Amino acid sequence: MSELGTLQTGSPPSGAAPQPLFSTRLALGLMGILLAAMTAGLIGRVPGLVLSDIQGALGVGRDDGSWLTTAYSAGELAAMPFASWFAITFSMRRFHLTTLACALAISAIIPTIEDLDLLLGLRAFQGMVAGAMIPVLMMAALRFLPPPLRLYGLALFALTATCSPNVALWIAALCVDRLEDWRWVYWHVIPPGLLAAGLVAWGIPEMPLELPRLRQGNWLGMALGMPGLALLVVGVDQGVRLEWLHSPLITAALGVGTVFTALFLVSEWRHPAPFIRLQLLERRNIWLSFLIFLFLLMTLSTSVTFPANVLANLQGFRIEQSASIGLIVGLPQLVLGPCVALLLYRKWVDARYVFASGLACISVACWQASGITDEWMVQQFITAEVLQAVGQPMAVISLLFLATSVVQPREGPFVAGLVNILRVFSTTLGGALIGQVTAVRSQFHSEMLLDHAGHQMARLPSSDALFSTLGDVVTQQASVLATADVYRIFGILALVLIPLVLCLRYIPPPTVGGTSQTAPPLLAAGVSS
């Protein structure tokens, strides 16, 4: 029987290690994997938040420096579909420790690199090894945690989307404004990374190598998928700056990336031992959850980084002055995540309505922030940020529960790859959408304001000082109005997702005994030998 047939029956493959019993030692190992995944998130997010400081230290221009973030994101997405497969082949413990060691070593040496091309190559490779650690977290949670604890494992995985990206703003401010040394932007991950390595080495059991799987791998698909996904990130991330299809580079990146990615997906669908099982998308709760997840994470882009950038443009804030926004959203996730998981275990709770309530909170937060004026400071954003802090875990954890409840534990690696492809790509897409909407709406509002002001100033004597002041005021007010438009668009998007959430299949809460009150049948479509 093939590996896919093995997954269908749920029986372990021949030669596989028996499922380890859950213990304190294993729990600490899982905490190490969680800490490593959050560290990986910081490796990617923190340098991007202080990119101007890094550019100044390296003596590179803004355009050239922007590729540092793109290179990391491209490498990260390129590795996501394949990480779980390699973790099984080389054993989770060996694979995780190897990728973590590579990521930390690159963080240690990057501040000493002055050549931009070498730096871009290192950031792309660091994105690959750091990005490979995040799917392992979901894979480990689904494999090692017993059903009474599995929701808490999903809550921990949700922290990679709701906690570390938001706390990164405060950490970036600490490195640049408090420690006053930009090199800590890279070095700060080394202590928690070493702690994570120790916990994983001690707590995760050794498992045998599955080297015969190397002969079964879809290597043609991998040769198409890695460059295809990386080129898509390049096209999306640089699209706003280079004016999309007006740039031959963006046109080529999006065109070739789309073709390669499409061929990769076709190859994965037809291959008997794929890296990601696209047949899982035939299950309603999976394909619909993933569609919602794509737009949900785009909406979460408005929670912390966007208001921090708005305050930097409007008020000239340094990152330290807006860092508290990240803490308001990020720190409560450490408590709210487990609380939402506990709520989803209640017999009277329907996860779909918890999900819808979270989306409603996010939508209200966006509409509240759309009332922005040029006088807003951090204090005016607090209400919106609190609503974001409450809504994000309700939405993300409920979504993960509804999607993974129709998946067998041994299908977890396939789901982990799909989830993380969406996580990285939707974050990149969300940033590009915000940048594009801001640029288009700023231009529109600027033209409207100038047209109106022109009619009024025709009655006044001309003055160079007056025209200069008018230009500054119009630019500022156009930016404010464009920001309000962005918030309204994403607020409407969050509301539109609610009917889709209610179309998801109801999943009864698991009981303390580890089985569902009425265990949902696993849809076996496409899971054939």
Q: What is the total count of domains within the chain?
A: 3
What is d(CA 381, CA 480) in angstroms, rounded to the nearest whole number? 14
Terminal CA-to-CA distance of the chain, rounded, Å? 6
Determine the pLDDT at residue 3: 36
Let me know: does 417 contact 407? Beta carbons within 8 Å: no
- What is the extent of the structural domain holding 255? 218-272
Q: Is residue 497 part of a domain?
A: yes
Residues 201 and 307 in one domain: no
pLDDT values of the chain reduced to their tens digit, one per residue, 529 residues: 333 333 333 334 434 445 667 788 999 999 999 999 999 999 989 998 888 888 888 888 888 888 999 999 999 999 999 999 999 999 999 999 999 999 999 999 999 998 889 999 999 999 999 989 988 988 888 788 887 788 888 888 888 888 988 999 999 999 888 888 889 999 999 999 999 999 999 999 888 889 899 999 999 999 999 999 999 999 999 999 999 999 999 999 999 999 999 999 999 999 998 998 899 888 999 999 999 999 999 999 899 989 999 998 888 888 888 999 999 999 999 999 999 999 998 999 999 999 999 999 999 999 999 999 989 999 999 999 999 999 999 999 999 999 888 887 778 788 888 888 888 889 899 999 999 999 999 999 988 888 877 666 656 555 555 556 777 788 889 999 999 999 999 999 999 999 999 999 999 987 655 444 433 333 333 333 2
Q: Is residue 39 part of a domain?
A: yes
At 525 the three-state DSSP class reads coil
Q: Around Cβ 66, how many Cβ atoms within 10 Å?
A: 18
User: Among 167, 194, 212, where does a domain finish?
Assistant: 212
Q: Is residue 12 part of a domain?
A: no
Q: Around Cβ 55, how many Cβ atoms within 10 Å?
A: 18
**pLDDT tens for each residue of 434-473:** 999 999 999 999 888 888 776 666 565 555 555 567 777 8
Determine the pLDDT at residue 447: 86
What is the tally of helices (H) and strands (E) in the chain? 20, 0
Q: At what angle do helices 305-315 and 378-404 cross, to 10 degrees?
A: 160
Q: Is residue 312 part of a domain?
A: yes
Let me know: does 368 contact 383? Beta carbons within 8 Å: yes
Let me know: does 226 contact 78? Beta carbons within 8 Å: yes
**pLDDT tens for each residue of 333-380:** 999 999 999 999 899 999 999 999 999 999 999 999 999 998 999 999
What is d(CA 511, CA 72) in angstroms, rounded to the nearest whole number? 41
Q: Is residue 7 part of a domain?
A: no
Instruction: Find tokens 């009425």 and name the residue.
Output: 518
Residues 203 and 130 in one domain: yes
Residues 239 and 97 in one domain: no
Q: Is residue 309 part of a domain?
A: yes
User: Among 192, 212, 232, where does a domain finish?
Assistant: 212
Residues 241 and 206 in one domain: no
Residues 403 and 469 in one domain: yes
**pLDDT tens for each residue of 375-397:** 999 999 999 999 999 999 999 99
Residues 389 and 284 in one domain: yes
Residues 355 and 468 in one domain: yes
Residues 32 and 167 in one domain: yes
Mean pLDDT of the chain: 86
Q: Is residue 63 part of a domain?
A: yes
Let me know: does 181 contact 50? Beta carbons within 8 Å: no
List, in order, residues 6 or more apart from 405 with CB less than 8 Å away. 285, 507, 516, 520
Residues 312 and 266 in one domain: no
Residues 362 and 482 in one domain: yes
What is d(CA 70, CA 48) in angstroms, rounded to the nearest whole number? 9
Determine the pLDDT at residue 319: 86
**pLDDT tens for each residue of 126-142:** 999 998 998 898 888 87
Residues 381 and 299 in one domain: yes
Q: Is residue 437 part of a domain?
A: yes
What's 31's domain CATH number? 1.20.1250.20
Q: What pairs with residue 516 in β-bridges?
A: 510
User: Among 196, 212, 228, where does a domain finish?
Assistant: 212
Residues 355 and 444 in one domain: yes
